[in-house]
Amino acid sequence: MRSFTRREITRRKLKAPEAPKDFINCSLAQISKAMDEPVSTFHEENLVQVVIDLFLGGTNTTATTQRWALIYMIQHGAVQGEEPLVTPWLTAPCGTIILPLCRGSVLYDPECWETPPQFNPGHFLDKDGNFVANEAFLPFSAGHCVCPGDQLARMELFLMFATLLRTFRFQLPEGSPGLKLEYIFGGTLQPQPQEICAAPRLNSPSPGPREDGL
């Protein structure tokens, strides 16, 4: 990852855009400005490390969330109806699976949640089945420690999950002993490796390139 990051930095240095467009470009501009400062945190070594931190912070979290989301979709197979996107479920599971990240936090407070340790879409649905936000749902923390990837993660998860649900119906393979819902602890709480089937929905739009080339 370090050498990949260094290569990306060099690539941007050689290209020198008119207006910096991404994090590395903006940081390089800042590094040039801070060149004469005797003590500055804007230098290339720091940039490499920050890019790596962003990758580490942003991959395991969203990947783990996706994996739990698919497992819970299978557990609650009935909600994968013909029109999965119109159900408020899509909003509810997008974050609920993050609950295991912070034991002892507000995410586990029995005063705020009906069944704190369990995945329970009812935590985010009113009596008519409509989505309702819960103030205690702070998977990205708050205040000074708030996750800088919050918006990106929500967008990424929504797009990926919506595309998967529109394209496939998730189910257990024939002869499967059942879902494994116990987590493995590894920094975050990971689902156990297990086989699941993604059966294409017959009426779904193809996940391939669109005809208009976009």
Q: What are phi and psi of 98, to 5 degrees?
A: -80, -10
54 binds ligand HEM (CB under 6 A): yes
**Nearest one of 92, 142, 94, 91 to 113, comparing CA atoms:** 92
Segment near ligand HEM (CB under 6 A), from 18-26, 67-75, 137-145, 191-199? 137-145
Question: Which residue's CB is nearer to ligand HEM, number 160 or number 196?
Answer: 160
Among 47, 61, 74, 161, binds ligand HEM (CB under 6 A): 61
Alpha-helix residue ranges (DSSP H) falling in the chain: 2-15, 23-33, 44-75, 93-96, 150-167
Site mask, ligand HEM, residues 90-109, x = CB under 6 A? --------x--x--------
Q: Structure tokens of 69?
A: 């989301």
- Work out how close the CB of 203 gets to ligand HEM at its nearest, in angstroms, rounded to a whole number: 30
DSSP-derived 3-state class of residue 83: coil
Among 22, 44, 53, 109, binds ligand HEM (CB under 6 A): 53
DSSP one-letter code for 99: G
Question: Which residue's CB is nearer to ligand HEM, number 89 or number 169?
Answer: 89
Q: Please report the beta strands in the chain, taking only residues with DSSP state E, as ranges in sequence order.
A: 168-171, 183-186, 188-191, 197-200
1 binds ligand HEM (CB under 6 A): no
Q: Structure tokens of 18?
A: 């008119």
142 binds ligand HEM (CB under 6 A): no
- Work out how close the CB of 40 gets to ligand HEM at its nearest, in angstroms, rounded to a whole number: 19
Residue 188 contacts by C-beta under 8 Å, 6 or more apart in sequence?
60, 61, 64, 100, 101
141 binds ligand HEM (CB under 6 A): yes
Question: Which residue's CB is nearer to ligand HEM, number 139 or number 191?
Answer: 139
Q: Answer whether 109's CB lies under 8 Å from 116's CB.
A: yes
- Work out how close the CB of 154 gets to ligand HEM at its nearest, in angstroms, rounded to a whole number: 8
Residue 199 contacts by C-beta under 8 Å, 6 or more apart in sequence?
168, 169, 170, 171
191 binds ligand HEM (CB under 6 A): no
DSSP-derived 3-state class of residue 42: coil
Question: Which residue's CB is nearer to ligand HEM, number 147 or number 179?
Answer: 147
Q: Which residues bind ligand HEM (CB under 6 A)?
A: 53-54, 57-58, 61-62, 65, 98, 101, 139-141, 145, 147-149, 152-153
